[in-house]
Amino acid sequence: MARRSDHSREQLQQMAISAAIAILNEHGVAGLSARKVAKSIGYTVGTLYLVFKNLDELLLYVNAATLDDLQRAIMQEANVHTDPAQILKTMALAYLRYAQQHSARWSLLFSHRLPANQPIPAWFEQKITSVFDGVKMPLQQLHPELNESALLQATRELWSGVHGACDLGLSDKLNLGGRFKLEELIESFVENYLFGFAKSKGIA
């Protein structure tokens, strides 16, 4: 295993991922390039392609790290309250705050598409499921009688709304006209959905 520098492939990968995240935070998605990442870790572009199949693969790992981060940010605020509905509202606001404070990473996470016909790896899908599971828990606490299937669907419905509001809101496509704050809209949405979900299932 001859190597010029003293960085293993794994180290090199991790260095590149960290460098990419730093560039994203400082210069946004448009400011990111393979050469800049390479330069930032003291290597040439070619080396990057020795460790990643292509730039899309690097971005996939960056997004995976963002997903971990995002989950941490959401779950951190989850234990502040005991009321499940209150927990879900707090998680939704944490989701929004993360998107606001890490706009470039958040934007990349949802705008990046793998080349056509290349499916999302199973380990990445698992990370997504894991985030949803964090949302599912308080929802289950709220409705213990629901089966796994109904719970899974309700989680997706609820979080689609939270995500959609963040996506449209942060790209100025909600046209609230300054009359409402995005935080209020999201809180109100969660309340309304939870209320309707309970009622339509004949609960509460």
Partner DNA sequence: TAATATTCTGAACACTGTTTAATTTGAATA
Partner DNA sequence: TATTCAAATTAAACAGTGTTCAGAATATTA
**122 touching DNA, by CB under 7 A:** no
The binder of a second copy chosen from 116, 144, 147, 202 (CB under 8 A): 116
> Taking CB within 5 to 8 Å according to partner kind, which of DNA, a second copy, none is near residue 82?
none
Under 8 Å between Cβ of 91 and 77: yes
Cβ burial of 122 (10 Å; 0-12, 13-18, 19+) is exposed
The residue within the footprint of a second copy, chosen from 54, 86, 101, 160 (CB under 8 A), is 160
Confirm if 139 and 154 have CB atoms less than 8 A apart.
yes
Give the nearest distance from C-beta 30 to a second copy in angstroms: 8
The size of the interface with a second copy (CB under 8 A), counted in residues, is 50
Residue 5 in contact with DNA, rule: CB under 7 A: yes
Applying CB under 7 A, which of residues 22, 35, 118, 199 lies at the interface with DNA? 35
Give min distance, CB of 15 to DNA, in A: 11
> Residue 134 carries which side chain, given as an amino acid letter?
G
Q: Is 26 in the site for DNA (CB under 7 A)?
A: no
Least distance in Å: CB of 42 to DNA?
7
d(CA 170, CA 192): 21
Between 49 and 132, CB nearer to a second copy: 132
Q: Give the residue, chosen from 47, 103, 140, 141, that forms a contact with DNA under the rule CB under 7 A.
A: 47
Per-residue H/E/C for 22-54: HHHHHHCHHHCCHHHHHHHCCCCHHHHHHHCCC
- Identify the CA nearest to 91 among candidates 139, 43, 58: 139
CA distance 70 to 76: 10
Q: Which of a second copy, DNA, none interacts with 32 (beta carbon under 5 to 8 A by kind)?
A: DNA
Q: Which does 35 bind (CB under 5 to 8 A by kind): a second copy, DNA, none?
A: DNA
**Among the listed residues 15, 17, 25, 23, the one whose alpha carbon sits nearest the alpha carbon of residue 106:** 25
Q: What is the dihedral of CA 198, 196, 110, 130, to 10 degrees?
A: 0
Q: Is 4 in the site for a second copy (CB under 8 A)?
A: no
Query: Which positions lie near a second copy, rule CB under 8 A?
Result: 28, 107, 110-111, 113, 116, 119-120, 125, 128-129, 132, 149, 152-154, 156-157, 159-165, 167-169, 171-177, 179-180, 185, 188-189, 191-200
